[in-house]
Amino acid sequence: MWFLWAILSAVIFGMSGFLMKVSSARHGSTLHTLLGLYLTGTLGFFWWAMQTETLRADLPLLLAGFVIGLGSAAGNLLFMKALDQGPASLTSPLVNTNILVIILFSMLVYGERLSGTETAGVILLILAVSLIPFDPDEELKIKNIRWYFLVFAATLLFTLRNGGLKVTEEMALSGTLVLFYGYLLGLIWFLAEDLLRRIRGTLAEDRRSAITGLGWGALAGIFSFVGMQLYAVALIDGPASIVAPLFATNSLVVAVFSILFYRERLSRLQTLSLILLFAGLVLVRI
């Protein structure tokens, strides 16, 4: 079942990304979109923890939640800042190289091994994720040297988020509770940011933009909660060297829904990435 959970995690988490795109398209505040996402995400994990196990707050759980929450919240912020400094067609695939770090870590530290067909499938999945963001009409120009630092830092932070769950699973820590504390950190982070901006009088967003961002972000948070929970479940029985690249294909879901709802067109490279995705999915299950 881990393979099914991994695919579902990518599809559902991809829906979260698409809803954040909707918020941006409707001029929703970025700050309030993230605030809404971490609000409903935190509530989702809290509800699920109360349904399935006893809520506790021992030191290992809190530390793990802090690390994964830092990777999630700070990673999202730095990724968005990197997009302001350089082209998305370079930024997105480079940030997605965190998949390679997770695969290498899983094989070296936890002794995971891939068969020949699984290795070929993983390579195709990585290629699919790398190609989907490319826009042939985008100018490949780096506006600021800070872009390099932002991309490198965002990659490391997303590695903490995605790979950290593998480590906590091996430590027999509850994925649900780790994610709850991680999302709670994100919620506190963006609540504090909103409060500080109000105190300083630097909150640039108008009321309509804030409400739009909060609403779409809250909806995105529900899908984020379900997607990340399924990813954590998939890591329990499945090898991270396969689950991680499967989860990373959530960017393809964003692309597909963008085509359906915003009539965006696929480039030839993006079409090729979809073909590689399906081929990779077949190979990792042979």
Choice among 42-46, 194-198, 215-219 with the minimum mean pLDDT:
194-198
User: Is residue 13 packed enough to be buried (19+ CB in 10 Å), middle (13-18) or exposed (0-12)?
Assistant: buried
Task: Output the pLDDT for position 177.
Answer: 94
Which of 142-146, 208-212, 222-226 has maximum average pLDDT? Answer: 222-226
Residue 13, pLDDT > 70, answer yes
Q: Does pLDDT of 87 surpass 70?
A: no
Residue ranges with strand state E in 2-107? none
CA atoms within 13 Å, Cβ hemisphere of 10: 23
Based on the number of CB atoms within 10 Å of its own CB, is 202 exposed (0-12), middle (13-18) or buried (19 or more)? exposed
Q: Identify the pLDDT of residue 221.
A: 95
Which residue ranges make up each domain of the chain? Answer: 1-285
* pLDDT value for 234: 93
d(CA 47, CA 131): 37
Overall average pLDDT of the 154-183 stretch: 90
pTM: 0.83
- Residue 225 tokens read as 């909660």
Query: Which residues 6+ apart lie within 8 Å of 273 measured at CB?
Result: 127, 128, 129, 130, 131, 132, 252
Buried residues in 58-86 as b, exposed as e (16+ CB within 10 A): eeebbebbebbbbbbbbbbbbbbbbbebb
Residue predicted with more confidence, 138 or 262? 262
195-214 pLDDT tens trace:
888 888 777 677 889 899 99
The pLDDT assigned to 106 comes to 84
Q: Identify the weakest region by mean pLDDT among 19-28, 89-98, 176-185.
A: 89-98
Mapping DSSP onto H, E and C, the string for 263-285 reads: CCCCCHHHHHHHHHHHHHHHHCC
Backbone φ, ψ for residue 245 (5° rounding): -65, -30
Lowest mean pLDDT: which of 32-36, 178-182, 196-200, 212-216?
A: 196-200
In our burial notation (b when 16+ CB lie closer than 10 A, e otherwise), range 144-153 reads eeebeebbeb
* pLDDT tier for residue 28 given thresholds of 50, 70 and 90: confident
C-alpha separations of 60 from 26, 197, 233 in Å: 40, 33, 19
The reported pLDDT for the residue numbered 285 is 63
Residue 84: name the closest of 129, 158, 144, 35 by CA. Answer: 144
Mean pLDDT of 166-171: 87
10 Å Cβ neighbour count for 100? 15
d(CA 208, CA 214): 10
Most confident of 70-79, 81-90, 106-115: 70-79
